[in-house]
Amino acid sequence: MTKSGFCENCNKLVSYNTIEKNTYQIIREKKYYYNKLYAFCKECGEELSENSITDENLRRLDIAYRLEEHIISVEEISEILRKYKIGKKPLAKLLGWGEVTLIRYLNGENVPTRPYSDELYKILNDSNYMLEILEKNKERITEKAYNKVKKEINAMNRWNLKNGIDSQIEIVVAYITNKTEITPLALQKILYYAQGFYMAFFGKELFHEDCQAWVHGPVFSDIYNKFRPYGYDSIKFEADYDIEDILDEDRKELLDVIINYFGYYNGKALEKMSHIEKPWLMARAGLGPDENSNNIISKKSILEYFKSVKEKYNMVNILDIRNYSGYLFNEISKM
């Protein structure tokens, strides 16, 4: 999309180019470095003032300040609400804060003080600490809100403890194989897409295990070895634990979407899809088409790629993933 703004020198609306320069802003006698964005008119070359550029630079400075001072970000505060399925008002009440205070933090109008920020960080990173606060102050919120938060914390703790299961990825496998008939080849790719889109939407891993760039696409080797005997047949994996009770709603909803929009295709189609994507291609750089490799597809490359997909296809929610699966199928159909 063409970027345009008003150039005072040309006295008209013009297209412009942008460049970044590392600079600093002094706040309370301290320098905070960040990459500042500048806009220049394509016709006369003069710098122009554009509201969207100003807003972006303020956002970048805010990020730089918070990182330097170890202050929680707006996105991380929002993550607390999403993680615990709690509203702004109940959270403020549990903490003994004014609701307006939390709203201003969420809107970016005010920056939390260090003690308030530390408290929010502790809640974000430690579900047991959140549980302590919940139990201590439960009389401040409604029973419905209390039960909702308690349910989420219990699910998180069961997930983190893994309930005696070898790995978190096996819980995901159990959920997938109980939802749909799937072959070992297709399972590998469904796990890959589930990991990628979970990271893109929620900013963290669905499970810890790495995948490798094999000839036939991304592969989680332990899962491959476990289900290799099934060959081209559908996997039968009977879990001796309650999958629904371990997985939280975000994971289940994401997996359901991936199963619906990618599980529709067979293993070979999914393999071809992964072959035209950057993470697998980068991990196999310099290798021949049939050359074996255990190169890791880094989680960083997966996160960056799927975040770019999310932005490119304007994915507001996880249901929009269907647009990308359709695009991939159209691309491999041309081959």
Plot region of 217 (φ>0 → left; ψ -120 to 50 → alpha; else → beta): left
Same domain, 60 and 184: no
| Average of per-residue pLDDT values in the chain | 89
Q: Provide the pLDDT for residue 47.
A: 92
Tens-digit pLDDT profile for residues 28-80: 888 989 899 999 999 999 999 888 899 889 888 888 888 888 888 888 898 89
Tally of structural domains, the chain:
3
Cβ pair 207, 278 in contact under 8 A: no
> 247: domain range?
165-333
241 has a pLDDT exceeding 90? no
**Is 0.75 surpassed by the pTM of this model?**
no
Cβ pair 114, 65 in contact under 8 A: no
Q: Provide the pLDDT for residue 328.
A: 94
Same domain, 154 and 175: no
Q: From 53, 69, 85, give the residue that closes a domain.
A: 69
Q: From 109, 139, 162, give the residue that closes a domain.
A: 162
Judged by average pLDDT, the poorest of 10-14, 179-183, 239-243, 324-328 is: 239-243
Same domain, 230 and 323: yes
Query: What's the rounded mean pLDDT across residues 253-274?
Result: 95
10 has a pLDDT exceeding 90? yes
Query: What's the rounded mean pLDDT across residues 280-300?
Result: 92
For 13, which DSSP code?
E
Tens-digit pLDDT profile for residues 92-101: 999 999 889 9
289 has a pLDDT exceeding 60? yes
Same domain, 60 and 194: no
Sign of CA dihedral 323, 324, 325, 330: positive
What does the alpha-carbon distance between residue 172 and residue 150 come to, in Å, rounded to a whole number?
Answer: 22
DSSP letters, 191-242, are HHHHHHHHHHHHSS-SSS--EEEETTEEE-HHHHHHHGGGTTSPP----SS-
Same domain, 61 and 116: no
Same domain, 215 and 266: yes
H or E stretch covering 15: strand 12-27
Q: Provide the pLDDT for residue 7.
A: 92
Same domain, 171 and 197: yes
